[in-house]
């Protein structure tokens, strides 16, 4: 069974920084794409950024220039460095792993989510 475990959320003042981590565990042979999504109160979950196993990245317009996504393929881990945080960045951040190949099947997985609150 594949599990995603996030860490690094918390309360930060506007203009501050946070670093989120997500580690995938289980019988994993490869993960095509790993990403971060955000769900703000009363809103739908939306993509923040994702990265392929080849290192290609994709960012939401709101994240460009402030957030950096990276991954360590050997560790099946993805990171999100968030700088210049704004109150509108507040929400639950979910890690997602797409096309996880275990040798038996290919599936997508979500983490449990980590709360990020940007407030003074």
pLDDT tens digits, 79-102? 999 999 999 999 999 999 999 999
Band of pLDDT at residue 31, cut at 50, 70 and 90: very high
Strands 114-118 and 10-12: parallel
Given this model, what pLDDT does residue 36 score? 98
Q: Do residues 8 and 33 touch, judged by C-beta distance below 8 A? A: no
Average pLDDT over residues 61-80: 97
What is the average pLDDT across 94-113? 96
Residue 35's contacts (CB-CB under 8 Å, 6 or more residues apart) are 47, 48, 49, 50, 51, 58, 69, 78, 95, 96, 98
Q: What is the mean pLDDT of residues 19-34?
A: 97
Please tell me the predicted confidence (pLDDT) of residue 12: 98
Interval 97-118 mean pLDDT: 96
Only one residue has tokens 């920084």, namely 17
CA 9 to mean position of chain CA atoms: 11
Report angle CA 43, 67, 3 to the nearest 5 degrees. 70
- Bridge pairing between strands 114-118 and 91-101: antiparallel
């Amino acid at each position: 069974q594949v599990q995603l475990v996030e860490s690094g959320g918390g309360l930060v003042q506007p203009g501050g920084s946070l670093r989120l981590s997500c580690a995938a565990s289980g019988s994993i042979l490869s993960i095509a794409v790993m990403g971060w999504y955000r769900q703000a109160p009363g809103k739908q979950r939306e993509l923040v950024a994702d990265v392929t196993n080849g290192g290609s990245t994709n960012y939401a317009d709101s994240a460009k220039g402030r957030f950096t996504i990276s991954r360590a393929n050997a560790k099946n881990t993805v990171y999100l460095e968030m700088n210049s945080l704004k109150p509108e960045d507040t929400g639950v951040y979910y890690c997602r792993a797409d096309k996880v190949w275990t040798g038996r099947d290919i599936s997508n997985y979500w983490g449990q989510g980590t709360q990020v609150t940007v407030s003074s």
